Structure 1
Amino acid sequence: MNSAYLYVRVSTDEQKRKGYSLPEQEDRLLRYCEQNNIEVKGIFREDYSAKNFNRPEWTKMLNIVKARKKKDQENILFLKWDRFSRNIEFAYQMIGILRDINVQAMAIDQPIDFKIPESTVMLAVYLAVPESENTRRALNTLTGMRRARKAGRCVSTAPKGYINLSHPDGRKYIAPKQPEASIMQWVFKELATGTHNAEQIRKMAKTKGFECERNNFWKIIRDPIYCGIIVVPPYEDEEMQFVKAQHEPIISEALFYEVQDVLNGNKKNTATNVAAKRLFRVP
């Protein structure tokens, strides 16, 4: 090996969980190249997930090695195979792409001699372990979020009108945030009258300082979280559940369901008649 491109990668959650850092990876790779008289042709620093190869720095590096005029043996170095990929299927595909252009991917802490047939077994292990870790972590996260929802807790980013807060013991919760909470109360009350349609009310709320895109506005006026109900989505053999929330509701359940009747057309909406009178100047 005479030369190599260095690839260092870390995602935000890995920095928090394992203390990975780009400078540390880079320093170790540079020392390895120095000790083995390897010319460093470039360093690519990635702050991105390894679930696939749609990563800015990886794409840039791949385009460079593809565009080289001489197709002599080239190398891409990284610390471990989990820096390369956390999806075994995509990893093998990328290894094949690199092989076609005479480029070899290598992990200095988990070296593989591709000339030895049995080495493919170790490669499979190195690639499978990170994917297994990701799958287990995702499952644990899902289980934890469902448990929290069943307990009536909001586990996502606070919706419009609320703010994310934490108890002294670290438990997170949401609480009404002013003036957005008052504007959301006004929005639901206006919708319940049926005098104006949802888009008109969204624009009226905007004049009050309430910024919300049309698609998101439709989602939030359908969300029972505002009347103190948490939705637990269906999963495997469990049906959808509606749980009484621990947070303070902004509106009553009666008002929320009244608004849903208007939106579903189960309650006469006078917005069309009002608009027609204005258009044709009907007294």
Structure 2
Amino acid sequence: MKKKNINAPSPIDMVDLYIRVSTTEQAMEGYSVGEQENRLRRFCEALGYQIHKVIIDPGYSGASLNRPGIKEVIHDVQDHLVNKVIVWKLDRLSRSQKDMLIMLEDIFLANNCDFVSMLESFDTSTAFGRAIVGILAAFAQLERENIKERTTMGRQARLAKGHYNSSRPPLGYSFLPGCNDLKVDPYEASIVREIFSLFLSGTAINTIASTMQKKYPTVRSWKNTTIRRTLRNSVYIGKVSDVDITRDGIHEAIISDSDFNMANAMLQHNLEIKKQSCRSHSLLTGLLYCGDCGARMQPRTISKGYPLRRYVCYSVSRTNKAMIKSDHCTNRLHPYTLEELDNIIISEIKKLAVDEKYLKSIIQEDAAPIINEAELCQDRLAELDKQTDKLLNLYQIGAVDLSQIQDRLTSLKQERNALTQTLNKVSTEMPMNIQQIQDYATAFQEALAKNDYDQVNNIIHILIDKIVVLNEDIEIHWTFC
């Protein structure tokens, strides 16, 4: 809770003057900061008010209360440093009816502070003044919504007539004097044609960006996204658009329809290839672990002395410091390419569907540790029960006092609870049965045949917990074992 400043002057007759003006209003309607302040000072002088502070929000919209000046006003009111806040006009405080009423009821009236609008000649110290504020706030919001609606209608009308709507001309164009209509900039237009020509000739996006940065560093900041936006911008074939609406524009085209359509078809094709590549060539991402240092492995493109595209240990690639487990990992030259390792795992999953003997051998091989763990838990529980019974028998025949065995009984109970939890966990983590495993393996083959890589990836993660790779050795940890 804020403490009242006992050194502050008395709030009686103390007022804050609040001034807000946007750039447009100042230019078109004469609502300048100086003009508002002069009028408000004369108003206070005439009524004998003492000015505590002049608070200004220059260049801020009245659409919200997210303004530094209005926050300062609220603090002064809540600290009871003023008992009046005066503005030149109601919409200086806010153009939102909701925000206006919040300020009036939750800030001003709740802290016994009056709100005065000089131009509308009302004061919230009276019931009539408070009612008028609500009415005028409603009209202020109505005007704001009308302005927004007229602006939207104006943009749509301009678009229907083929006019360009954005406030900045795209690369290759400049604005005609006094309006937002486009005219071709010969120098920049040649750059746009060069970008399309390079891309249509097969040059990669990143190479085009690098070329543009070297040749035209002052025209734009050239990035891959800049090149893609240029290639996708239909303004270059004489179109104008706003949101999801596209119309024929009145400006001159720079690129032919055939070149534009071909470039965008290539972009879409490249995107599909990239998606398919990510799905088909990174199936094991998140499952692979290094058999030497234990770090995860990631798909990487390598070109030094052995085939491209491999899963590489993070301790070797050192691309992410947080994933590095060792500075001396030896798992560097395993013989499998990314596609080869994927195919090995795919073949192992396919065998589950057709070779039941192989499947049973995997389950039998890996099931023993779980059975042994359960048996060990049960044996130890039986031993704890015997010890507990022995101590209780001694107590019942009067051989020992309860205080003498209390700590031991407590220890036995704690160990028994822990073992019971472990046994329950082992019992509830029952593996899939053979039929379920074979069903998943069959569904995996069907998804692979349909190129449904999302389903392929899902089934891989259902059947495999992790894969450990050390040079040429591959160890699969199945989830059903």
Q: TM-score, normalised by structure 1?
A: 0.81
Task: Show the counterpart of 2:102.
Answer: 93
Pick from 20, 43, 56: which aligns with 2:31?
20
* 2:255 alignment partner, one of 251, 256, 262: 251
Relative to structure 1, the CA distance from residue 132 to residue 245 in structure 2 (aligned partners, 3 Å threshold; closer, same or farther) is: same
Per the TM alignment, residue 187 of structure 1 is displaced from its structure 2 partner at its CA by 1.5
> Quick one: distance in 1 between partners of 2:248 and 2:101?
47
Could you tell me which residue of structure 2 aligns to residue 212 of structure 1? 221
Residues 1:186 and 2:208 are matched in the alignment = no
**1:18: how far off?**
2.0
| Native 8 Å contact 1:5 1:75 kept in 2 | yes
Please give the residue correspondences for 1:118-133 in structure 2 after superposition, counting only pairs within 5 Å: 118-133=128-143
Q: Deviations over 1:209-237 (max 9, x none)?
A: 23236555543432200111112445xxx
Q: Are the counterparts in 2 of residues 150 and 232 from structure 1 also a CA contact under 8 Å?
A: no
1:237 corresponds in structure 2 to none
Which of the two has higher C-alpha Rg? 2
* Structure 2 residue matching 1:6: 3-state secondary structure: strand
- Which stretch has the larger CA shift, 248-257 or 118-127? 118-127
Gaps of 5+ in 1: 235-239
Q: CA deviation at 1:89?
A: 0.9
Does the C-alpha gap of structure 1 residues 104 and 128 become closer, same or farther in structure 2, counting only changes over 3 Å? same
Shift of 1:44: 1.9
> Which position in structure 1 is the counterpart of 2:62?
50
Amino acid corresponding to residue 224 of structure 1 in structure 2: S
Question: 2:219 matched to 1:201?
Answer: no
How far did residue 118 of structure 1 move? 4.4
Match of residue 20 from structure 2: 9
Q: Residue 231 of structure 2 aligns with which residue? A: 221
8 Å contact kept, 1:73–1:102: no
1:175 aligned partner = 183
- What per-residue deviation string (whole Å, max 9, x for no partner) do you get for residues 13-66 of structure 1? 222332221111111000011111111111122221100011232234434544
User: Separation in 2 of the partners of 1:26 and 1:81?
Assistant: 15
SS in 2 for 1:179: helix
Determine the C-alpha separation between the residues in 2 that align with 1:50 and 1:146. 25
Check conservation: 1:194, 1:269, Cα contact below 8 A.
no
C-alpha separation in 1, matches of 2:113 and 2:226 = 46
The residue identity in structure 2 corresponding to 1:23 is: G
Give the match for residue 47 of structure 2.
36
- Correspondence for 1:263 among 251, 263, 267: 267
- Relative contact order higher in (CA < 8 Å, ≥ 6 apart): 1
State the aligned residue count: 265
Distance 1:146 1:45, change over 3 A: same
CA distance in 2, matches of 1:2, 1:250: 67
2:151 to 141, 147, 151: 141
**Which residue identity does 2:210 align to in structure 1?**
K
For normalisation by structure 2, the TM-score amounts to 0.50
- What is the CA–CA distance in structure 2 between the aligned matches of 1:267 and 1:57, rounded to whole Å? 49
Q: Which stretch shifts more, 46-55 or 200-209?
A: 200-209
CA distance in 1, matches of 2:240, 2:154: 15
* Structure with greater helix percent: 2
1:87, distance to aligned residue in structure 2 (A): 0.7
* Residue aligned with 2:52, SS: strand
Matched letter for residue 173 of structure 2 = Y
Root-mean-square deviation (CA, aligned residues, Å) is 3.0
User: Quick check: 1:72–1:102 contact (8 Å CA) kept in 2?
Assistant: no
Helix, strand or coil for the counterpart of 2:181? strand
**Corresponding letter in the other structure for 2:67:** R
CA distance in 1, matches of 2:263, 2:171: 17
Structure 2: which 5+ runs fail to align? 1-11, 278-299, 308-481
CA distance in 2, matches of 1:216, 1:82: 41
